[in-house]
Structure formats: C-alpha cells, structure tokens
Structure 1
C-alpha cells in the first residue's frame, strides 16, 4: 500500500513537466544527473551565440561559446565591433575571440589530382595538331611521347613527335614491362612508356596520351575510370576522307585500308567519355573545348586518381 501511494504521488508530480509547479519534486534530485526539464534555459549555460544589444559606440555584445554549465559567473560577454565602425582586422579578431578559436588559412578544397587525358580517334582527324596546340596554351600539361617502330615521316622529330626505335628495341621494352600499353598497328609497334608518365605526374602535371582506337580500348581496361577518354572526330565522313587524301603520306593501297579502318573505328564513339568535333579551320574551337573538359574534370567533388 505504501509503495502504491509513493508511485501515485510521483506520477502526479510529473504528469505535465511543462506546467510550472512549486510542489513538484524530482526523485533523482540527489543524483549527479542534470535535470531533464527546466523552465529557465539560461541555467543550462548552453553557450549559444545570443545578441544582446548594439551600443552607441557600434559594439555588439554576444555570449561567448567558452561559457560552461557550471560557471557561476554566467556567460562571458565579448564585444564585437560593428563593421561600419571598425576595420576588417578588428572584426576578424573579435570574431575569433568570441568563438574561442582561430580561423584556418588552409585551403577548403585541396589541389585537384593530376589528370590523365586519353585522346583518340580515326586517322586523319587532326589529333597531332590539336594536342600540339593544347600543350602550347595550357600550363602544367605534358604530352607523353609515344614509342614506335615505324619510320619517321617528313618533318617529324625524334623525341618530340615519337620515340623512333627499331623493332628489336621495342620488343626489349615489352619484355622489361616498360610500356603502359602497346599494339601492332599497320605492321609497326606503338607503345606508351610508363616512366615518363610517373615523372611528370610527380611534378603535378596533367598527362595527355595519344592512342589509336585499339590502344584506347586497352587503356580503358587498365586505367578504368581513373582517366578521361576523349574521342576526336571530323565534321563528316566526307571531310575525313578528304583529309586522308590531302596528307599524301600513304600509297593507294594504304589509303584504302585507312579509310576502311576509319569507318569501323567510328563505331567505338560511345565507349568514350567525351567527343570533340575538330572542324576544318576551327582548331582553336577544338582546343578550347578540350580545355573546358579538363577544367570540368578538375572541378569534380569526386576526383579521378590514376596510379601508374
């Protein structure tokens, strides 16, 4: 009976904790727990920022976050000068004092990762011209010179356009695993040296790779989504064939083979991340579009990260 009366008295006292009552008691008053409800939130000393007033001298008084629950002196009042009556430095220091911390000067967003851009497309679309101009106008961009076993064409420079090596030397590079990818194209080897990529990525440079369609497929399997794949095309099939004829670098038989290959390679367009139409006479437009692609990739929250 006594136990039932005690429970009834306790439940009656806590029937509505939000209604003030001078007779309500807390059976846990002797414990070390904080009260669950209170009609005076200031006694909790939560340390919230509360604007009290703006003085005639242009000072704003706020409660500091440094106040504690058991501080009998109450929240500390820190004056913050109004921006109209004080310099930026004064307001800055007052805000730091009010918050009880200093503002970090570290970048909010870290520098973007070095990017690998793989540029591919059919023969005759102007890959070399686009890449050459891109490296001229874009800083911290390195074009990886491809190794090849084919003979030099008129005007090509060893170490700039390609690394021209013998077939025996190329096979030795394959055996030593010095190439990121390689392929046999039209009877000649082409491949991308790994070390060159590593050296320039370590310097923070973006990397541009020029490969054929077969090489792009191989790199997609190796690099997956860590690289950006761009497909370069002419404005039409007719324009592409005319460009191939205008190069005057192949025999009739070789030209026929390249045209047939180009028509087949165009079917792989959907395997790439971006497509750039390199119109005749609009080299600058193609290069600007490529720059925009690179800028967009570097602004992504989830950065690509390539490890070679």
Structure 2
C-alpha cells in the first residue's frame, strides 16, 4: 500500500447517488488542477457514462483476477457489483501532484479515512430526496436503478456527520465556489481569491 507523505491529500466526495457529487468534484478538480483516481467496477455503465472517464468498467473475471493479484487497496461489494481502487493508480496520480480526488460511497470514504487518517478529507455532497429523485429520472435511470440507489439514501445522508465538510448541492456552481475555497486552504496554495 502506498504511504502518503504529510503534504499529500486525498479529497473524497461522497453522498447519495444523484446529489451531484461527481459534477461538483470534477468542477473543483478542474479549478484547482487536481486529478481524479477512478474506481474499477463490475457494474454496467449508466447511460452517458464513459469507460475511463467515470469508472473503469471491467468484467467480473478481470476484477477477480486483479483482486487475486492484490492490485486493489480494498474491494467493496454493493448491490451485487464489485468496486475497488488500484493502489498503483493512487500512487501514480498523487506523486504527480500531491493531491487527488475520488468519488466514493460511504464505505469507500470510510475505508480511505481509516487507511490514511488526516490526509483524507471527506466531503459530503447531498440534496433532499425529491431533488435526487428528479435528477435520477432526468438522467434516464430506470425505475429499478432509482429504487436501488434510493435504498441507500438514508445511510448516505447519515454519513454526512462523519465527514469533514458537507454541502447541500442545490446549484452546482455555488457549491463548487464555496468548496473550492475550502480545498484551496488544505492545499496551502493561496492561489484563489474568490471573494
């Protein structure tokens, strides 16, 4: 497992599916020049998701083989699908820039916090149930997918209190503006004067 240096940071975006955590993470990452480490998953892509941009979508056999070779930091199963982050991906990306971000559910966020402690900053991005349901319908999720995602809503919302920061995401641009100021403080760059 890669050993983080004191100044190296992992920003973990978590929260209910449909809250906009990936959108806010990408906007903040682009603004601050922070790269994303993608998870590998055995689940099929949702409409609009692209392999290598949203996740690394791989077969169950390929996932099991990589896990057998101990390539993953830790493996999590959710709704019958496997998820994992490769240690080599994390090491390569963080060495290139001292900070990375990942988009994970509460289990992945907690796993990274336990592994790396103070070097991990968890950011909960959330929205109310009705807003999330509308967003899931608007992006074309099936009724079955929405039911599966919403079955985790209360647990993801409860995890907010464990996170270092929480943002209700009504408007992604405003959320990103407030969040970027906070992340810039962790990076000690003082590059942004957003006021």
State TM-score, norm by structure 2: 0.85
2:46 alignment partner, SS class: coil
Q: How far 1:200 sits from its partner (Å)?
A: 2.0
1:274 paired with 2:168, answer no
Give matches, 1:2-13, under 5 Å. Answer: none
Contact 1:149 1:170 in 2 (8 A): yes
Partner of 1:138: 32
Which residue matches 1:180? 73
For the pair 1:246 / 2:138, whether they are aligned, the reply is yes
Per-residue deviation, 1:265: 2.0
Q: Which residue of 1 aligns with 2:192?
A: none
Give the CA deviation at 1:154. 2.7
Q: Who is 2:62 aligned against?
A: 169
CA distance in 1, matches of 2:63, 2:172: 33
Distance 1:213 1:118 in 2: 10
Q: 2:92 aligns with which of 173, 189, 199?
A: 199
Distance 2:150 2:51 in 1: 27
Higher helix share: 2
Partner of 1:27: none
Per the alignment, residue 153 of structure 2 pairs with 262
In the TM superposition, residue 257 of structure 1 has moved relative to its aligned partner by 3.1
* Preserved contact between residue 117 and residue 229 of structure 1 (Cα < 8 Å): yes
- The alignment yields a C-alpha RMSD, in angstroms, of 2.0
RCO comparison, higher one (Cα < 8 Å, 6+)? 2
After superposition, give the CA deviation of every residue in 1:74-100 in whole Å (9 maximum; x if it has no partner).
xxxxxxxxxxxxxxxxxxxxxxxxxxx
Aligned residues of 2:124 and 2:163 also touching (Cα < 8 A): yes
Gaps of 5+ in 1: 1-111, 301-308
Q: What is the match of residue 193 of structure 2?
A: none
Match in the other structure for 1:116 = 10
Asked if structure 2 preserves the Cα contact closer than 8 Å seen for 1:116 and 1:228, the reply is yes
Matched, 1:291 2:180: yes
Q: What secondary structure is seen at the aligned counterpart in 2 of 1:203?
A: helix
Write out per-residue CA displacement over residues 20-64 of structure 1, whole angstroms, 9 at most, x where no aligned residue.
xxxxxxxxxxxxxxxxxxxxxxxxxxxxxxxxxxxxxxxxxxxxx
- Counterparts in 2 of 1:1-308, with a 5 A limit? 113-139=7-33, 141-234=34-127, 236-250=128-142, 252-279=143-170, 282-299=171-188
Specify the structure having the higher radius of gyration (Cα).
Answer: 1
* 2-structure distance, mates of 1:161, 1:255: 19
TM (normalized to structure 1)? 0.56
Deviation, 1:189, is 0.9
Offset of residue 128 of structure 1: 1.9
In 1: Cα distance, 2:140 partner to 2:50 partner: 19
Instruction: Give the 3-state SS of the residue equivalent to 2:75 in structure 1.
Output: strand
Shift of 1:126: 0.9
